[in-house]
């Protein structure tokens, strides 16, 4: 039986670690929460802040695309939240005379939370948080707000094509493709796992957790990993992500879900953030090393 790892006081300490960003399970949790709350609603109007960094598409294009669009679904791609929009020609403010009123245009509103981004569904009279960069007024009377103090988050719209985040989706990729992504690379396996062009959505926490379960040291060169170890790593990556999604993501961050509720992230880390604490399998103190500027945690005895 593996004991529960983080105690409340440790959790509090880790909150200030800037290393921690929302990863795939947290984004999945947020996207599912949003889907439940805003699917079917219509964006009536949009306010965008004056800070340029969060807007990856021109402000005018974002506003034009969002306004009078119906949210048909919300899902996750890698670490991006994809809000599918349906624009009924007849709902547009200034319909062109010759436009077919029945043609439904499709577009996508893409949100990347960066390090500190939040998407909040609020009542219109809720206090406007400092660092609010976008507010979408919904036909239901609520507002969908994008708040991001550190401004690494990004908003953009995609029209006329489908958004493609790049990299393979870790929960969909098959074993052979997974092995092909990493085999023969001279970089540490940890860096390769974090490379979003290979696998999208796996970040620091879940890379450490997956490597621990697979028994592979983070600094190990990908090219030295055997096929059997890759098979184990493949299963570990999927297992860790699925467990974390089930738990609602990690308990170590200060972002909240779309209810504005910070409480539901319960995933238990076995090595991440446990430097000096005993390994949950062999009691050897967990080690921390820095690889490509990021903290990596591993058990020197269980991982080779």
For binding to Zn ion (CB under 5 A), which residues are involved? 279, 281-282, 284, 299, 301-302
Residue whose CB is less far from Zn ion, 112 or 213: 213
Query: Which residue number, 133 or 274, has a Cβ lying nearer to Zn ion?
Result: 274
Q: What is the DSSP letter of 132?
A: E
DSSP 8-state class, residue 3: P
- Kindly report the CA angle at 74 between 267 and 30, in degrees rounded to 5? 25
Closest C-alpha among 110, 117, 76, 154 to residue 254: 117
Q: Which is nearer to Zn ion, 282 or 292 (CB)?
A: 282
**Helix-, strand-, coil-residue percentages of the chain, each rounded to 5:** 25, 25, 50
By C-beta, is 36 or 284 nearer to Zn ion? 284
∠ at Cα 168 (274, 223), nearest 5°?
65
Contact 116, 153 (CB under 8 A): yes
Backbone angles phi, psi at 178, to 5 degrees: -55, -50
Rounded to the nearest 10 degrees, how much is the dihedral formed by the CA atoms of 121, 126, 132, 133? 60
Report in angstroms how near the CB of residue 271 gets to Zn ion at its nearest: 9
As measured in angstroms, the least distance from the Cβ of 221 to Zn ion is: 21
Q: Considering beta carbons, is residue 138 or 286 the nearer one to Zn ion? A: 286
The pair phi, psi for residue 130, each rounded to 5°, is: -60, 150
Minimal distance, residue 274 CB to Zn ion, in Å: 11
For the CA atoms of 272, 276, 278, 282, the dihedral, rounded to the nearest 10 degrees, stands at: 90
Report which residue's Cβ sits closest to Zn ion. 279
Closer residue to Zn ion in complex, CB, 175/282? 282
170: Cβ–Cβ under 8 A, 6 or more apart, which residues? 24, 199, 200, 201, 202, 237, 238, 241
| Tokens representing residue 75 in the block | 């899902």
CB of 6 to Zn ion, least distance (A): 18
Query: Exposed, middle or buried: residue 78 (CB in 10 Å: 0-12, 13-18, 19+)?
Result: buried
Q: How far is the CB of 293 from Zn ion (least distance, A)?
A: 25
| Shortest CB 218 distance to Zn ion, Å | 14
Q: Which sequence positions are flagged as catalytic?
A: 22-23, 79, 294
Which DSSP category does 90 fall into?
Answer: G
């Amino acid at each position: 039986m593996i004991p529960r790892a983080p105690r409340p006081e440790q959790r509090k300490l880790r909150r200030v670690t800037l290393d921690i960003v929302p990863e795939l399970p947290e984004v999945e949790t947020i996207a599912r929460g949003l889907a439940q709350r805003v699917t079917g609603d219509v964006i009536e109007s949009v306010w965008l802040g004056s800070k340029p960094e969060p807007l990856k598409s021109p402000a005018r294009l974002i506003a034009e695309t969002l306004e009078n669009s119906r949210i048909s679904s919300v899902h996750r791609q890698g670490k991006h939240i994809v809000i599918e929009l349906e624009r009924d020609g007849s709902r547009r403010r200034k319909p062109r005379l010759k436009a077919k009123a029945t043609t439904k245009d499709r577009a996508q509103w893409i949100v990347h939370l960066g390090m500190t981004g939040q998407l909040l569904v609020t009542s219109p009279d809720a206090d406007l948080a400092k660092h609010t960069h976008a507010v979408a007024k919904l036909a239901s009377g609520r507002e969908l707000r994008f708040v991001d103090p550190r401004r690494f988050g990004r908003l953009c719209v995609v029209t006329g094509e489908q958004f493609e985040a790049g990299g393979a989706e870790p929960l969909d990729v098959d074993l052979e493709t997974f092995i092909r992504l990493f085999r023969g690379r001279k970089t540490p396996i940890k860096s390769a796992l974090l490379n979003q062009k290979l696998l999208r959505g796996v970040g620091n926490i879940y890379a450490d957790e997956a490597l621990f379960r697979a028994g592979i040291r983070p600094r190990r060169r990908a090219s030295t990993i055997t096929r059997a170890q890759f098979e184990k790593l493949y299963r570990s990556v999927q297992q860790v992500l699925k467990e974390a999604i089930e738990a609602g993501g990690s308990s170590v961050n200060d972002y909240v879900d779309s209810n504005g509720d910070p409480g539901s992230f319960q995933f238990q880390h076995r090595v991440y953030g446990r430097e000096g604490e005993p390994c949950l399998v062999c009691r050897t103190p967990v080690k921390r090393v820095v690889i490509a500027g990021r903290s990596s945690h591993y058990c020197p005895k269980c991982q080779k």
